[in-house]
Amino acid sequence: MMPDFTERELGRPSQSSRKWMRFLLTLMSVVLLAPSRSAAEDGLLFGGDDFVVVPHSSSLSPSQLTVECWVNVAVLAGPSNNEFIVSKGNDGTQGSYYLSQNGDQFHFYLGKNGVDQVYALTSSLHVQTNHWYHVAGTYDGTNLHIYVDGDLEGTTPANIAIGNSLELTLGYHNRPGVPYWLSGSLREVRIWSLARTQGEIQATMNQSLVGTEPGLVGYWRLNEASGQVAHDSSGNSNNGQLGSTPDVDTNDPTWIASIPTLSEWGIIGMSLVMFGAVLVLRRRQVIGLAP
């Protein structure tokens, strides 16, 4: 007579174990195929009267320049207005520079002879609210260029000496009596003492920097999540103060809590898969079904 072996005695997994393993395999396939996301949801949220102030430093007035950041505009400025994203000096300052949003365009300005400005704009782009954009402006001593998400959007000839003794501001344009504010979010603000190429911009726009890259003179990740200081990770100590005072005040932007990117979720998911597989194997070892 043939013995009446059960599934466990034959070394076959039970029905519940098979269901668990199918779940793990499905989860693993989702994790492996999940795309990565370029911009994690952290940074600073500016509510229309908030700002960060970085004291003047000669390192922030180079002869050639790249200004870049990730920005998410909550409210579009009208055609006769501007929302200033990054600003060194103002439109009444010789040698100033700034990134702004005007109408449904991004602009990169250089200031010359007071309000006589030169700028490049994104004429073919229509900026949408509640959408993250990577914006970069460059100046090589001959031309201004503006890039959005790594694509060249505008070029303007220019011959302007950069340099002023005013502070650098994020989310605010500091011309006395004529303030311009940003309503939106910022992260990964970078200033370089060279005009980066399109390829260089594309190569690093979706990743954090080490901070020691050649030519990097200011780097604010804006991922502190708390506190009154936006730290400069370039090693040049160009730290920024949130709001009007070192203490909490009404001009402080709000920290945005970081959440995992899909690639980070992938790492978490893989860890869960491996942990689940170990649990199943351990269970089979306990009941004597695996070596």
- 209-243: pLDDT as tens digits: 999 999 999 999 999 999 999 999 999 999 999 99
Give percent of the chain with pLDDT exceeding 90: 61
- What's the pLDDT at 112? 78
Give the up-direction half-sphere exposure of residue 250: CA atoms within 13 A in the CB hemisphere: 2
Instruction: Name the architecture of domain 43-256.
Output: Sandwich (2.60)
Q: Mean per-residue pLDDT for 84-94?
A: 89
Q: How far apart are the first and last CA of the chain?
A: 29
Q: Is the model's pLDDT at 23 over the cut of 80?
A: no
Q: pLDDT by residue (tens digit) across 32-87?
A: 443 333 444 689 999 999 999 999 999 999 999 999 999 999 999 877 788 999 99
Q: Mean per-residue pLDDT for 244-248?
A: 96
- What's the pLDDT at 32? 43
Name the residue ranges covered by the structural domains of the chain.
15-37+261-286, 43-256
Query: How are strands ordered across the β-sheet holding 240-242?
Result: 116-121, 105-112, 97-102, 83-88, 168-170, 52-54, 240-242, 229-230
Query: Who wins on pLDDT, 282 or 136?
Result: 136
Give the Cα separation of 103 and 117 in Å (integer): 18
Q: Mean per-residue pLDDT for 200-215?
A: 98
